[in-house]
Chains A and B, each alone.
Chain A
């Protein structure tokens, strides 16, 4: 998620670097944004042995993006996910994910991402690196972010990335279920 946010930031930064028009866009984009639930989603897939995968999404999360008009690399992304809101369409799987087998949502209410760097990789793309913390464990993760638009003070971006769940003490079920969690996120953020 954070990575995606960073990607958005990167998009903005890229726009600034691009030329006069971009520069205008950058100064326009600079500022603080809050991720809105409307138009945002955090989905994930975990591959299964023999094909197929377990699909899920987090229903509740919040976050902010600060775009530094002068130095995109100093932009910041902060995302908080509430694992209690995980949903897979199958109640027994949700209960399992929320239990201490996976998220331990009762004792570990939040999963957080704090960006540490944003690196442009293209006109509209960036890699966002940051610290992901879940169940008391912190690890560095990278996400690919792509800016899909800035209109009327609203940023839209898509973020994707792979996270190894074993790093967060959530490796239950491997190798039947892959250790790799594939994240696909869409964020809509409004100027705060």
Chain B
């Protein structure tokens, strides 16, 4: 039940999917709010929290990608059309790329920042900076990149959620529920 099969997701993939999804969307909301808040103190503290969850997310994403590469993955139901059959893997690949590149660009931006504020995930340990040159220009470049990569990633997430709803409410197939529990997938009558 931990591992995937060719017809259903196992618990590891399911838990990682929802945990990462929750943190990613939470990070987007937090990131958006923390740079617009008036209180400099709250803003500073929220940015440190954003960095902490960002590093946590990066760690989870690396585990997730490792798990994905070392596991089978369930195919799409037969009814799924040719266009979606081609689109889905590209969107999923782009989502994986976003999960890596958005936190990495955040890490890059704090690494090159002239403010040189150390990163201390959840106040537990000092996370070293990426070996990049500190400068005002580099900082502006990475802030810009991080911001727009995050916006693009959220657009992908929205597309992904809409596709999942389409499967569930329109096509009425097992695609959404099999990401909720391995048992639901089986109950839906799909062979193990």
Contact = CB atoms under 8 A, between A and B. Distances in A.
B44 interface: yes
Given A50-B126, A101-B39, A101-B41, A176 B120 contact: yes
Chain A interface category by residue count: 10 to 19
Nearest to B123: A175
Given A90-B114, A93-B115, A49 B44 contact: no
B118 A96 contact: no
A172 B45 CA distance: 8
Contacts of B115: 90, 92-93
Contacts, number: 37
A101 B44 contact: yes
Contact of B118 (A49, A90, A172): A49
B140 interface: no
A173 interface: yes
Interface in B82-116: 114-116
A51 to B, nearest CB: 9
Interface of B: 39-41, 44-45, 48, 114-118, 120, 123, 126, 128
Interface of A: 48-50, 52, 90, 92-93, 95-96, 99-102, 172-173, 175-176
17 contacts: A48-B116, A49-B120, A49-B126, A50-B118, A50-B128, A90-B114, A92-B115, A96-B44, A100-B40, A101-B39, A101-B40, A101-B44, A172-B41, A172-B44, A172-B45, A175-B120, A176-B117
